[in-house]
Structure 1
Amino acid sequence: MRYIILFLSLFLVLNTTAQTDAEVIKNLYKTSLTNGNSYQWLDHLSNQIGGRLSGSLNAEKAVEYTKEELEKLGLDKVWLQPVMVPKWVRGAPEFAFIESAFGATTNVNICALGGSIATPFGGIKAHVVEVKSMDELEALGKENIEGKIVFFNKPMQADLIQTFEAYGGCVNQRYSGAMEAAKYGAVGVLVRSLSLRQDNFPHTGSMTYGNLPLSKRIPSAAISTNDANTLSSMLALNKDIKFYFSQTCKQLNDVQSYNVIGEIKGSQFPNEYIVVGGHLDSWDLGDGAHDDGAGVVQSMEVLRLFKETGIKPKRSIRVVLFMNEENGLRGATKYAEVAKQKGETHIFSLESDAGGFTPRGFSFDCNDANFNQVLGWKELFKPYLIHYFEKGGSGADVGPLKTDTNVLAGLRPDSQRYFDYHHAANDTFDAVNKRELELGAATMASLVYLFDTYGLVK
């Protein structure tokens, strides 16, 4: 009889704990959806500040704004972490056209890639050679490329359901296309925009010249998907057409910026840290609403939801708004460097950097024991249609915090529309759905709550 009573007591304790977790999570979702701040913050960040290119005035305005808003939450500590960041400026709007015959031109939409040099004064006009891979570039060789503009026209693979996989399959043409084409004597590079949608918006993004000396570097620009199709079709009919483009971008000296950090101190294990964050910088063409304004405000909302619902965390919870993810990852590197110097133990780090769309779940970078613990929490997320729990990547900004024992994670929203807006002028506030944004914030807060409650599996 005594063993039956002990068993029933244990059952009741476990059942009460599970029910308590469910109630806490339900309250987090309710508060985010009925009394949330994320959409309001994103409105200001997008519409009152705008694009936040690393090193720009708008980036500094975003630092000031988010710091002030975190201070209003009554956190235990809010501070700025200095970090030197690159400063690249776009300059005057780019201009380009296809010349099919003397005096016969078709204007097209392009934008300079981040880190590119400018064209010479007056622009560049040259014949075009189209390739769809680095192997094709190599096969053509210097004799077919020298003096020409290389047009990288590999589209994202449309039949891949995981759109980030499709992106990964062709991002090398944007990132290293100019560096590789310059080796064969090309005078410029055009890259098909990395988008699954057919439209007139060119998509920028980071690129590199590697160790190429300045004298060997060539200008690099993205061309919209519609115009990439047009150029390809015209080349199929006439190999003698020429392409003209002009851009005035410039790389300046590094400048000082900041990571913005807020903290709720843990009640039981204050020296164990949980990080939730996104990157505060964005590209300059739109206002960075999805990439990564959404992740910034969702991360801020996690701490606000803890305060609003009365959760007193066992471990210290930090929100980190990283600077310079887009073209350098300097903020993430600095944060991890300082954490290591201080001997801080980061048990769990979560990043939102995949847009403000409907949340589907998370990807995890962790060992099997901790992943199995996560799988045990799936039933708690089932009422909110969160079903994707997979081992895989986490996020660029939390990556430097990886150890053999901790857990890194990335929020995984529905990704089908993400690359419609990624790094383009249409990445604006009106493209973000309020309810989807708030669902994402609540989903993140729920996972942070569970890791804070149960810690890591040793």
Structure 2
Amino acid sequence: MKISLLPTLLFTLFISSVSISQNAVQDSVMLKKLYTTALTDGKAYDWLDYLSNEIGGRLSGSYEAELAVKYTEAELKELGLDKVWLQPVMVPKWTRGFKEYAYIESPTGDKTITNICALGGSVPTPNLGIKAEVVEVKGLEELAALGREKLEGKIVFYNRPMQPELIQTFEAYGGCVDQRYSGAAEAAKFGAVGVIVRSLSLRMDDFPHTGAMSYGDTPVNQRIPAAAISTNGAEYLSSLLKLQPNLLFYFKQNCKTFDDVQSYNVIGEITGSTKPNEYMVVGGHLDSWDLADGAHDDGAGCVQSMEVLRLFKKVGYRPNHTIRVVLFMNEENGLRGGKKYAEEAKRKNETHRFALESDAGGFTPRGFTFDTDAANFQKVQSWEGLFKPYLIHYFEKGYGGADIGPLKGNINVLAGLRPDSQRYFDYHHAANDTFDAVNKRELELGAATMASLVYLFDKYGTE
């Protein structure tokens, strides 16, 4: 007797399609709840207000960073999470000291004051400052081509701008950050006495942008001071050098490096209902530079990450996996917090499935980048339709984030929230990165977008 399998197959396909349809409806309803709650009953903006206006810049090792640890720990406990704790981590301590001072001096003795700031980790100038002729270069290769004969005793002026034609502004940033990070170490090899670096910003203004720099293996007694000059200042200096190549530049800065001090990653979690020993992480970095509040970089990412767990509790969602919020310390000048978290996770043999980082400002969310394999990325792409009502269309393979990066190799998916980046480098590491530059609604949309992605990965797991 022949039995046809067609009816059975059709029934199976029907049941499967019904299940998929039901899941899509349930997911759509959940995303709507998350967005509605974030936009009508959000907490992220209030948290950011306190971090920015009551605590301020949170440079690693500072008193303000310590206050931020205590504040966020208390707020996470207030949410009623299943567990909140501090993870000790030793961090560098560098201080700026009194405000920097600089001027351009013409051959006739005329002086024009210009805006600079010390780069993070720089040594100070001598007590009376440094005055020397300036040599302008567009990058490290041009520096090396000039050699010691033309650089010894001079101040090197790195003036390669971010490329304005690049739509991806992080690509433009990556194209010239080497002159800030390694510029002093390379210039010292040729006998330069200091470096001035064009601020990494696409906007023309008078705000110098600080950031991390490294001396590499340069002996301590051969390290030279490094400062950033505003984009307007860089243009002015460059134009003067074309007319007066032998002009002088003077600058004085009072920064100092101390021994490492103890700080903490702040961690809170909701224990998973069915997979409590499998972890999903959402986070940002709690430290910031000292010139401003660090509202976009990365106060926004921290409060958005805290909001993810608050939203889950508010809408009554109990996750399958254990969901952790991690506020990492020392991303800006050492990445000690991210490395410590990964180190402890490995030591405890913890199983991490997914991590999401927000460290690109509190602007309107556009989507995500994913550092993962083809199977997991295909799963992500199947969710695009759920996000389109919220104008989230950008799903690409790419970079996850600096603090979650050390987990790579022991995790299935690393993801990064990608807000609209066109204005980010107007504020990045500068004195105008303040609370008033963050739009409440944009910040809340970012938090809801993060919560939605965490929900979907928690529900459907990783491959």
Give the TM-score band, short-chain normalised: over 0.9
Q: 1:442 maps to what in 2?
A: 448
CA RMSD of aligned residues (A): 1.0
Q: 1:176 maps to what in 2?
A: 182
**2:78 is equivalent to residue 91 of structure 1:** no
Q: Give the whole-Å Cα distance in 1 for the aligned partners of 2:170 and 2:293.
A: 21
Q: 1:343 maps to what in 2?
A: 349
Q: Give the whole-Å Cα distance in 2 for the aligned partners of 1:102 and 1:43.
A: 49
Q: Give the whole-Å Cα distance in 2 for the aligned partners of 1:438 and 1:295.
A: 11
Q: 1:104 maps to what in 2?
A: 110
**2:285 is equivalent to residue 279 of structure 1:** yes
Which AA in structure 2 matches 1:333?
A: K
**2:389 is equivalent to residue 390 of structure 1:** no
- Decide whether the 8 Å contact of 2:352 with 2:412 is kept in 1: yes
- Decide whether the 8 Å contact of 1:119 with 1:248 is kept in 2: yes
Which AA in structure 2 matches 1:416?
A: Q
Which AA in structure 2 matches 1:397?
A: D
**2:331 is equivalent to residue 314 of structure 1:** no
**Cα distance, 1:405 vs structure 2:** 5.6
Q: Give the whole-Å Cα distance in 1 for the aligned partners of 2:328 and 2:172.
A: 26
Q: 1:415 maps to what in 2?
A: 421
Q: Give the whole-Å Cα distance in 1 for the aligned partners of 2:19 and 2:109.
A: 82
> What TM-score does the superposition give when structure 1 sets the normalisation length?
0.99
Q: Percent identity?
A: 70
**Cα distance, 1:128 vs structure 2:** 0.2
SS of corresponding position for 1:40? helix
Q: Give the whole-Å Cα distance in 2 for the aligned partners of 1:40 and 1:207.
A: 33
**2:407 is equivalent to residue 401 of structure 1:** yes
SS of corresponding position for 2:106? strand
Q: Please point out which of 52, 59, 69 is paired with 1:53.
A: 59
Q: Give the whole-Å Cα distance in 1 for the aligned partners of 2:137 and 2:13.
A: 69
SS of corresponding position for 2:33? helix
**Cα distance, 1:5 vs structure 2:** 5.4
Q: Please point out which of 190, 199, 217 is paired with 2:196.
A: 190
**2:253 is equivalent to residue 263 of structure 1:** no
Cα distance change of structure 1 residues 63 and 335 upon mapping to structure 2, 3 Å threshold: same
Q: Please point out which of 111, 119, 122 is paired with 1:116.
A: 122
- 14-23 or 154-163, which deviates more: 14-23
Q: Deviations over 1:274-329 (max 9, x none)?
A: 00000000000010000000000000000000000000000000000000000000
- Decide whether the 8 Å contact of 1:367 with 1:405 is kept in 2: no
Q: 1:247 maps to what in 2?
A: 253
Superposed counterparts of 1:334-373, under 5 Å = 334-373=340-379
Q: Give the whole-Å Cα distance in 2 for the aligned partners of 1:147 and 1:286.
A: 33
Superposed counterparts of 1:27-38, under 5 Å = 27-38=33-44
- 397-406 or 139-148, which deviates more: 397-406
Q: Give the whole-Å Cα distance in 2 for the aligned partners of 1:429 and 1:423.
A: 14
Q: 1:424 maps to what in 2?
A: 430
Q: Deviations over 1:71-122 (max 9, x none)?
A: 0000000000000000000000000000013431000000000000000011
Q: Please point out which of 234, 253, 273 is paired with 2:240.
A: 234
Cα distance change of structure 1 residues 329 and 416 upon mapping to structure 2, 3 Å threshold: same
**2:51 is equivalent to residue 41 of structure 1:** no
Q: 1:294 maps to what in 2?
A: 300
> What TM-score does the superposition give when structure 2 sets the normalisation length?
0.97
Q: 2:141 maps to what in 1?
A: 135
Which AA in structure 2 matches 1:147?
A: G
Q: Give the whole-Å Cα distance in 2 for the aligned partners of 1:11 and 1:339.
A: 39
Q: Give the whole-Å Cα distance in 1 for the aligned partners of 2:416 and 2:328.
A: 15
- Decide whether the 8 Å contact of 1:32 with 1:439 is kept in 2: yes
Which AA in structure 1 matches 2:423?
A: R
Q: Give the whole-Å Cα distance in 2 for the aligned partners of 1:314 and 1:388.
A: 27
> Gaps spanning 5+ residues in structure 1: where?
none
SS of corresponding position for 1:61? helix
Cα distance change of structure 1 residues 5 and 137 upon mapping to structure 2, 3 Å threshold: closer
Q: Give the whole-Å Cα distance in 2 for the aligned partners of 1:165 and 1:158.
A: 10
Q: Deviations over 1:246-295 (max 9, x none)?
A: 00000000000000000000000011100000000000001000000000
Q: Please point out which of 190, 194, 213 is paired with 1:207.
A: 213
**2:447 is equivalent to residue 433 of structure 1:** no
SS of corresponding position for 1:205? coil
Cα distance change of structure 1 residues 405 and 91 upon mapping to structure 2, 3 Å threshold: closer
Q: Give the whole-Å Cα distance in 1 for the aligned partners of 2:278 and 2:342.
A: 15
SS of corresponding position for 1:20? helix
Which AA in structure 2 matches 1:18?
A: A
Q: Please point out which of 73, 87, 105 is paired with 1:67.
A: 73
SS of corresponding position for 1:229? helix
Q: Give the whole-Å Cα distance in 2 for the aligned partners of 1:9 and 1:174.
A: 59
